[in-house]
Structure 1
Amino acid sequence: MNARPTNVSITMPPDQVTGVHADFVSAWHTQDVFVLDFAAVVGPGRPGEGPEGQPVTQVDAQVIARVKLPPSQVFEVMKALEQQLSAWEAETGRRPQPRG
């Protein structure tokens, strides 16, 4: 017996339409969930020292959104991000440069 396709209708609350800006995302997981912590830088960088005494730029950031995903959705998110990144690269002619 074939399962019927599911059609999801998504709505967005008016107070979330503008979205929030994130400078980076940290990803981690447990046995049951993948977690994406989106963070924004909250001040200028300042000179600091790394764990082995090397000079670093210390930057403070604050998590502005935590998104928890079931493992079954992670591959779908990765595919969607790849598709959107490819479209962005084609539209802008640019390739994002890794930080660090």
Structure 2
Amino acid sequence: MNQRPTNVSITMPPEQVTGVHADFVSAWHTQDVFVLDFAAVVGPGRPAEGPDGQPITQVDAQVISRVKLPPSQVFEIMKALEQQLSAWEAETGHRATPPSQ
């Protein structure tokens, strides 16, 4: 079965053009949807105690956007992020490294 290519025309409301800053994202899912909660840190970290009694730094963050996706879109997003990360690394000469824990 041949499928005709799809062209999606995306528009953006002017008030969203500048975007919002997110420090991290939390990903979770239900049976029918994947959810990405983008969050921004809202204050400095403070000393706290972890569940095991070890000292930790407690950081408070506020969800700034929740995006719900059908499972089929998650694969496309992962491919697009990989392509963009590879292009960024080639352009900047930097290798993206995860934050140290």
| TM-score normalised according to structure 1 size | 0.95
Count of matched residue positions in the alignment of Structure 1 and Structure 2: 100
Aligned to 2:26: 26
Q: Residue type of the partner of 1:49?
A: E
| CA deviation profile, 1:64-100 (whole Å, cap 9, x unmatched) | 0000000110000000000000111111111222122
Task: List 4+ stretches of structure 1 deviating above 3 A.
Answer: none
Runs of 5+ in structure 2 lacking a partner?
none
Q: Residue type of the partner of 1:34?
A: F
Q: Secondary structure at the match of 1:9?
A: coil
Aligned to 2:44: 44
Runs of 5+ in structure 1 lacking a partner?
none
Task: Give the root-mean-square deviation of aligned CA atoms.
Answer: 0.9
Aligned to 1:67: 67
CA–CA distance in structure 1, aligned partners of residues 96 and 50 of structure 2: 26
Q: Residue type of the partner of 2:58?
A: Q
CA–CA distance in structure 2, aligned partners of residues 87 and 60 of structure 1: 32
| TM-score normalised according to structure 2 size | 0.95
Aligned-residue offset at 1:5: 1.7
Query: Which has the larger displacement, 90-99 or 50-59?
Result: 90-99
CA–CA distance in structure 2, aligned partners of residues 51 and 7 of structure 1: 50
Aligned runs of 1:80-91 on 2, under 5 Å? 80-91=80-91
